């Protein structure tokens, strides 16, 4: 089964949710630079949204959309690339790191496309 078991990705999603809330609070209360605060808020918002999407995959699987098991890898990788690059730039990393951010966005889009595909596997009668 490998690393991407439901247990592992739900654990990672919970950790991601914790980080998103902590970073969002830090952006609101601990950052003076407006651009850094904006990056942190954006990263936090997208990170939290996609950790919740990862939890939604468990529901999809429970109602018969087995292909939903593929989406968390994309959602969580997207969080690392998208949110992580914004967090790093807010912490002073070079601005060229922003070139990584859209790759995270593509990972998010791929996860959502997989989830739409997975939904087609749900019994239409239920």
Coil, helix or strand at residue 54: helix
Would you say the pTM of this structure is higher than 0.85?
Answer: yes
Instruction: Compute the mean pLDDT over every residue in the chain, rounded to the nearest whole number.
Output: 93
Q: How confident is the model at residue 2 (pLDDT cuts 50, 70, 90)?
A: confident
**Cα R_g (the chain), whole angstroms:** 16
Q: What is the CB-side half-sphere exposure of residue 17 using CA atoms within 13 A? A: 12
pLDDT digits (tens, 9 = 90+) for 28-76: 999 999 999 999 999 999 999 999 999 999 888 888 888 999 999 999 9
Looking at residue 7, its pLDDT comes to 87
For the chain, the structural domain boundaries read 6-119
Checking if the pLDDT of 27 tops 70, the result is: yes
- What mean pLDDT comes out for the span 80-101? 97
Evaluate whether 48 touches 19 at the Cβ level (below 8 Å): no
């Amino acid at each position: 089964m490998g690393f991407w078991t439901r247990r592992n990705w739900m654990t990672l999603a919970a950790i991601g949710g914790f980080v998103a809330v902590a970073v969002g609070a830090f952006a609101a209360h601990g950052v003076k630079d407006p651009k850094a605060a904006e990056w942190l808020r954006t990263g936090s918002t997208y990170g939290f949204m996609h950790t919740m999407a990862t939890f939604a995959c468990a529901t999809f699987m429970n109602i018969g959309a087995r292909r939903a098991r593929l989406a968390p890898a994309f959602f969580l990788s997207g969080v690392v690339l998208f949110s992580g690059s914004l967090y790093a730039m807010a912490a002073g990393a070079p601005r060229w790191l922003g070139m990584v951010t859209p790759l995270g966005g593509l990972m998010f889009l791929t996860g959502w496309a997989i989830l739409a595909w997975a939904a087609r596997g749900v019994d239409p009668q239920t």
